[in-house]
Chains A and B, each alone.
Chain A
């Protein structure tokens, strides 16, 4: 089975707050063997040429609804790629850090942070097992 990874692309905007419950959001589905690529949009400061190299992005994959951190990483780019470690419902959050200061989190489940198809909308990731391979007979 093939899925469109581009459907999992999402954008973040600046943010400070935090939410647990997603209302009117979108749950993207993916099997737990799929590579998921998430894209965010930097704020004006990190987008500026002078500051771009000083900005580091720290991201976390959270298992919902209790926001348990399942995976985390840091990058100088505006993207994160990973595979879901197991089935479940997840949210994604990212913050910008310019040593030693960090912004608040942008959290995908919040409608003011997540973007789906160009529109502000919260989103989550729902992971489930990948199907078996081909069947044959002897």
Chain B
């Protein structure tokens, strides 16, 4: 079953030497996000399809998005943050067993 598409759009950093962006997706309320080494690298096109990222296809809940810009020397900016985004890529559990009753 194909995962649905969720397009995240973001404004680009105005700094001239930015070469990539880092996206951290965490359950809402997670603290100390800057210490997390797990991030997705975005190319700076201004949008990303979350449904096309295999690592995100098990998301089911409410998440905060932290996006930073990185320059060619590896310096990372402060975050641009979006909080409280509900995402549900998981299909619900299937219904229970199917049974039949024959009347009469």
Contacts and interface: CB of A to CB of B under 8 A. Distances in A.
Interface residues of A, number: 19
Contacts of A118: none
Interface residues of B, number: 30
A32 B16 contact: yes
Contacts of B80: 131-135
A135 B68 contact: no
Contact of B12 (A1, A85, A133, A136): A133
SS class of chain A's interface: helix, strand, loop or mixed?
loop
B9 to A, nearest CB: 5
SS class of chain B's interface: helix, strand, loop or mixed?
strand
Interface of A: 1, 31-33, 85-88, 128-138
Contact of A87 (B14, B17, B65): B17
Given A128-B75, A129-B71, A32 B15 contact: yes
Contacts of B7: 137-138
